Chain A
Amino acid sequence: MGDVTGSLDRVRQRLQQRYLDSMPMKISMLESSLRRQRGGAPDDAAKRARRLAHQIRGSAASFGFFELGTLAGHVEDASDDLLPARLAELIAALRETTQPQR
Chain B
Amino acid sequence: MSRVALVEDNPDNRLLVTALLAEVDHETVEFDSGEAALAGLAEASVDIILLDISLPQMSGLEVLTRLRSDPELSSIPVVALTAHAMADDRAHYLASGFDAYVAKPILDENDLFGAIDRLIGKARA
Contact = CB atoms under 8 A, between A and B. Distances in A.
Interface of A: 4, 7-8, 11-12, 14-15, 18-19, 22, 55, 58-59, 61-63, 69
Interface residues of B, number: 17
Contacts of B10: 55, 58-59
Contact of B109 (A8, A19, A59, A61): A8
A14 B105 CA distance: 17
B12 interface: yes
Contact of A62 (B23, B24, B106): B106
A22 to B, nearest CB: 8
Contacts, number: 45
Given A55-B10, A58-B83, 13 more contacts: A7-B23, A8-B20, A8-B23, A18-B15, A19-B12, A55-B12, A59-B10, A59-B12, A59-B13, A59-B105, A61-B104, A63-B16, A69-B105
A5 B96 CA distance: 33
Interface string B53-73: 010000000000000000000
Contact of B15 (A4, A15, A55, A69): A15
Contacts of B42: none
Nearest to B15: A15
Interface of B: 10-13, 15-16, 19-20, 23-24, 54, 83, 104-107, 109
Contacts of B106: 62
Contacts of B20: 8, 11-12
A14 B54 CA distance: 27
- Top 6 nearest A-B pairs (CB, nearest first) are A59-B12, A61-B105, A62-B105, A58-B10, A11-B19, A59-B13
